[in-house]
Amino acid sequence: MKIFRMADPLTTRLKHIIVDTLRLEGVKPEEIKDDEPLIGTGLALDSIDALELVVKLEKEFGIKIGSSEESKQALSSVAGLAAFIRQRADASKLPV
């Protein structure tokens, strides 16, 4: 029997935010792997991308990212970002 795992709504939403906010050409949200590094290697986002993303994430999920080091940690990967947001966001802000 084949088991279909439901995609996590938060990671799906984050992948869409990354592609839409940064207007990534030729990248589909579903192509971004959960554990793929976002900064430097992997998607190779830079500090200006990080700035745009952080502004969007703070607004959408009502979270605060306190420092550039915390920002780097949060943006380690989509999975890391989802965990970071779950720890800090009000549950009402999370997609279901």
Partner 1 sequence: MPRLADPNPIKVADCGCITPFGGAGATLAALLRGERALQPVPVGGIAGGDLVPLALLPGRDIDETALPSWGPAMKRLLAKHIGPQWGTAKRPVFFTSSNFGVGHLHAYGRTRDEKHLTFGSPYGCVDWLRRELGWGENFAIFSHACVSAHLGLVHASRVVSAGLADEALVVTFDFISPFVSGGFHALKILNADFPAPYMNRATGSIGLGDGAAYAVLKRDGDGFKILGQNLHNEMYHFTANQPDGLGFTACLAPLMEKTKGLRLWVKGHGTGTLDAGRMESTRMAEIFPSSPLTGWKGSLGHTLGSCGLVELAIAIEAIRAGRTPGTVGSSAPAFTPNVALEPFSNREFNAVLCASNAFGGAHAALLLAHD
Site residues (vs partner 1, CB under 8 A): 46-48, 51, 54-55, 64-71
Question: From the CB of 21, what's the least distance to partner 1, in Å?
Answer: 13
Whichever of 26 and 66 has its CB closer to partner 1, that residue is 66
Question: From the CB of 71, what's the least distance to partner 1, in Å?
Answer: 5
Alpha-carbon separation of residue 16 from 27, 66, 78 (angstroms):
10, 24, 11
- The H-assigned helical ranges of 1-96 are 9-22, 47-61, 68-74, 78-88
> Cβ distance 85 to 76 under 8 Å?
no
26 vs 33: CA distance, rounded Å = 15
Whichever of 67 and 92 has its CB closer to partner 1, that residue is 67
Straight-line distance from the first to the last Cα atom of the chain, in angstroms, rounded to the nearest whole number: 27
Whichever of 41 and 67 has its CB closer to partner 1, that residue is 67
Question: From the CB of 65, what's the least distance to partner 1, in Å?
Answer: 6
Whichever of 1 and 48 has its CB closer to partner 1, that residue is 48
Question: From the CB of 50, what's the least distance to partner 1, in Å?
Answer: 8
